[in-house]
Amino acid sequence: MGILLTLHILAFTLWIGGLFFAHLILRPVLNQLLDPPLRLTILGQVLQRFFHWIWISIFILWTTGLALIFGYHGGMAEVHWSVHTMLTLSLIMTLLFIYVVFIPFPHLKSMADLPKASQALGTIRKIVVINLSLGIIIILITLLGKWSPL
């Protein structure tokens, strides 16, 4: 169980830490220093590499999470309410990520239409904020769930 939980926490840390870095550190610096065409090109390449790691993280998160639930805790009927909430929010985060990868991100990568690429980046930014917020909520629920009397 220790290895599964460690992998689970590491994968989640990579995802949420990457979102935090991209939104609150990288984006503001690039906005200050670079003109839109170069900024969009750099962010497109950064996100492409980051998304590769998120796919790996998602695989690890779902695999280890379900293994922990069904292999060590007796299934969904036996786990604390916080696990149900964590699973629901994780599903929303995963679906939002899949949406970003297949809908707005191709427009950002193409750069054929600068206004459309810029709009795609705006959409991605909003979803990054949502997923970062959901990730922080999951962390808080996990901590609350562990010590909650409910």
Q: Contact 60/68 with Cβ under 8 angstroms?
A: no
Q: Contact 93/87 with Cβ under 8 angstroms?
A: no
Q: Contact 94/58 with Cβ under 8 angstroms?
A: yes
DSSP one-letter code for 64: H
The two tokens of residue 109 are 């990568």
Nearest CA to 121 among 27, 32, 49? 27
pLDDT 10s digits, 65-88? 999 999 988 999 999 899 999 999
Whole-model pTM?
0.93
pLDDT 10s digits, 110-150? 877 889 999 999 999 999 999 999 999 999 998 888 766 65
Nearest CA to 90 among 145, 8, 17? 8
